[in-house]
Amino acid sequence: MSDPSENGYPHGENFGQVAVRATAAIGEILDQNAGRTIVIVSHHIVNRTYLATLLGIGVGKARTVSLENCGISVIVREGDKTAVNTLNASFHLQGLAA
């Protein structure tokens, strides 16, 4: 049996499949916008699997990547290297009612 954290949701993609799709799509967006500052907004699982891949912890541990709703993660690409610069910043949400 596979790692349950990689299973995703019944009848949908598993985390590994999401990570492959997200990495390809985000890579293409970054390539098309080289040298520019852009914003990519996505679903929680897409964000978690992509960030887990970049952080080198693997898709099986994507659930351990803590992300707040509306949290901001900053990804920097220089040449052929992509890295997480900021993970889950939520300072802009301080003082807002839940």
Average pLDDT value for residue range 10-29: 92
Q: What is the pLDDT of residues 25-56, one digit of tens each?
A: 999 999 999 999 999 999 999 999 999 999 99
Give residue 22's pLDDT.
96
Q: How many angstroms separate the CA atoms of 76 and 37, rounded? A: 9
Q: How many angstroms separate the CA atoms of 63 and 10, rounded? A: 17
Give residue 4's pLDDT.
45
Q: If pLDDT is split at 50, 70 and 90, which confidence band does 93 have?
A: confident
pTM of the model: 0.83
Pick the CATH number of 4-93 from 3.40.50.720, 3.40.50.300, 3.40.50.1240, 3.20.20.140: 3.40.50.1240
In the predicted structure, residue 6 carries a pLDDT above the cut 60: no
Q: If pLDDT is split at 50, 70 and 90, which confidence band does 9 have?
A: low
Give residue 33's pLDDT.
96
Domain range summary for the chain, segments of one domain joined by +: 4-93
Give residue 10's pLDDT.
65
Q: Are 19 and 52 in contact (CB under 8 A)?
A: yes
